[in-house]
Amino acid sequence: MIHPPISPDAALREAVRTGNIVFVAGTGVSTSATFDPATKAGHPQASWIGLLKHGLDEAERMARIKKGKADIYRAMLAEDPTTENLISTASTVTKAFGGVTSGIFKDWLENTIGKVRATNRNIIDPLHALREAGNFLATTNYDDVVARLPHRAPAHHLDGWKRHRRRAEKS
Per-residue pLDDT of the chain (171 residues), as tens digits, is 566 667 888 988 888 888 888 888 888 888 898 888 898 988 899 899 999 999 999 999 999 999 999 999 999 999 999 999 999 999 999 999 999 999 999 999 999 988 888 888 888 888 888 888 888 888 877 777 776 665 555 554 444 444 445 555 665
Angle at 109 between CA 108 and CA 115, to 5 degrees: 105
CB-CB contact of 41 with 51 (8 Å): no
Query: Domain boundary at 72, 92, 115, which?
Result: 115
Same domain (yes/no): 141, 107: no
Give pLDDT, residue 74: 98
Beta strands 22-25 and 136-139: pairing type? Answer: parallel
DSSP 159: S
The whole domain housing 150 covers 8-39+117-170
On whether the CB atoms of residues 139 and 24 are closer than 8 A, the answer is yes
Closest CA to 152 of 46, 119, 134: 134
Residue type, 13: R
Global pTM value: 0.73
> Residue 24 phi/psi, 5° resolution?
-115, 120
Nearest CA-CA partner of 139 in 32, 23, 16, 21: 23
87 and 99 together in one domain: yes
- Residue at a domain's end among 115, 141, 160: 115
Q: What is the DSSP letter of 36?
A: B
Query: What's the pLDDT at 96?
Result: 98
Residue 3 forms part of a structural domain? no
Task: Name the domain count of the chain.
Answer: 2
- 53 domain residue, yes or no: yes
Per-residue pLDDT, 169 = 62
pLDDT of residue 167: 53
Q: What pLDDT sits at residue 162?
A: 47
The confidence score (pLDDT) of residue 129 equals 86
Same domain, 30 and 13: yes
Q: Give the separation between CA 105 and CA 156, rounded to whole angstroms.
A: 19
Among residues 140, 167, 169, the alpha carbon closest in space to that of 152 is found at 167
- Do 137 and 165 fall into the same domain? yes
